[in-house]
Amino acid sequence: MRQILTCLFVFALVTLLNGSKFRCDYKYSDQAEGWLKLHRIPANWTEARLRCHLEGSNLASPLNLDLSVAMQKAMQNASVCGGVFTGISGYFSTGDLHSIEGIPLSDIPQTWHEGEPDNHNNDENCILMLDTGELADVSCAETFPYLCYRKGSTVPDTGTCGPVDNGYSYDTRTGSCYKIPQLAQTWSRAYMICAAEGGHLAIINSDTEATVLLELFTKHQNSIIGREYEMLGNAFIGFHDRGEYRQFLTIEGETLEKAGFAKFYKGEPNAKRDQKVCGTINFAGQLDDAWCDKPTAFICEKKPESCNN
């Protein structure tokens, strides 16, 4: 018995040294040999796939019987009876269905629900899985809950900012991790991306943090693609007028003054009363208002102890 316990201890120690737990909002399944998370709020297939990807996982598919049973259990435990999107779709070519991992439907164990597949209105190119394990074809534009899946028991430990995305860098001056993604986005999509990665659009809490964000923005300025010309000098951060003219609040509901930094660039904010505007930092390290729907650089922030670490 002592020898067995010693072996188990050594195994656990090696696991801790060579890898770390995945996100805290995922649950490990021995049967699935990986991590699962159920998203109860329905989304269309494209949005479901993207959110799983941003979380560091894939839109789950019943690639084998064990994974299928694990997915069924997750649905049953949460009383999801209407089915979940799987990662199986004909996204690249109508009628040629593959999982996110590139496995063709013909190589995946399958039992179809009665009357399925029927490709109703020639518009059902995504695959739904019911809590019985049966499959049905549905429109990718419909909305359903979905499961995200990350194979493996541990993930490589990439440092202070966690195992999910090593694009974040830690700054000792603020105690936060930051990242500027390469591809510009609208403010709403930027908000989603930061949240899916376990963080949020950066909130400036001090002059020091404004300096940190300015340095980061300046460093990555030439690597950001997809921006519109008039937005080259700005990066979205976490404040918004919420439809009320110049009544700016952070995404955590605080006024800029209470958050700790409310220094607008000279002549700003200057949006008209009927314009919906979102917050940015500019190359002067000060605040600016900007169009929410124009693709712009953006800065994500997360604490080292955030959920995906």
Q: In the chain, what are the domain boundaries?
A: 22-151, 169-302
* The pLDDT value given to residue 165: 62
* Nearest to 240, CA basis, from 185, 281, 279, 284: 279
Question: Angle at CA 296, nearest 5°, toward 243 and 187?
Answer: 35
What pLDDT sits at residue 161? 85
- Half-sphere exposure of residue 224, counting CA atoms within 13 Å on the CB side? 25
For residue 231, give the nearest of 289, 271, 285 by alpha carbon. 289
Long-range contacts of 164-171 (CB under 8 A, 24+ apart): 164/22, 164/23, 164/55, 164/56, 164/197, 164/198, 164/308, 164/309, 165/56, 165/197, 165/308, 168/199, 168/300, 168/302, 169/216, 170/304, 171/212
Any idea what DSSP says for residue 208?
A: H
Mean pLDDT of 124-132: 97
Contact, 146 vs 43, CB < 8 A? yes
Q: Which fold has domain 169-302?
A: Mannose-Binding Protein A; Chain A (3.10.100)
Of 20, 80, 89, nearest in space to 50 by CA: 89
For 44-103, what is each residue's pLDDT tens digit? 999 999 999 999 999 999 999 999 999 999 999 999 989 999 999 999 998 899 999 999
Residue with the two structure tokens 């991306």: 193
**10 pLDDT exceeds 60?**
no
Q: Are 197 and 54 in contact, with CB atoms under 8 Å apart? A: yes
Q: CA torsion angle for 255, 257, 263, 265 (degrees, to 10)?
A: 30
pLDDT interval class at 11 (50, 70, 90): very low
Let me know: does 46 contact 187? Beta carbons within 8 Å: no
pLDDT bin (cut points 50, 70, 90) of residue 1 is very low
284: helix, strand or coil:
coil
Which ranges of 24-85 would DSSP assign to H, the alpha helix? 45-54, 65-77
Q: Is 104 left (phi over 0), alpha (psi -120 to 50) or beta?
A: beta
Check pLDDT > 50 for residue 3. Answer: no
Mean pLDDT of 213-241: 94
pTM, two decimals, is 0.85
State how far the Cα of 130 lies from the Cα of 117, in Å rounded to an integer.
Answer: 13
b or e along 48-80 (b: 16 or more beta carbons within 10 Å of the residue's beta carbon)?
A: bbbbbebbbbbbbbbbeeebbebbbebbeeeeb
Domains 22-151 and 169-302 share a fold: yes
Q: How much of the chain, in percent, has pLDDT values that exceed 70?
A: 88
Whether 154 has a pLDDT exceeding 80, the answer reads no
Tens digit of pLDDT for each residue in 201-211? 999 999 999 99
Between 3.30.70.20, 1.10.540.10, 3.10.100.10, 3.40.50.1110, what CATH number should domain 22-151 receive?
A: 3.10.100.10
For residue 126, give the H/E element and its range. strand 126-129
Mean pLDDT of 131-148: 97
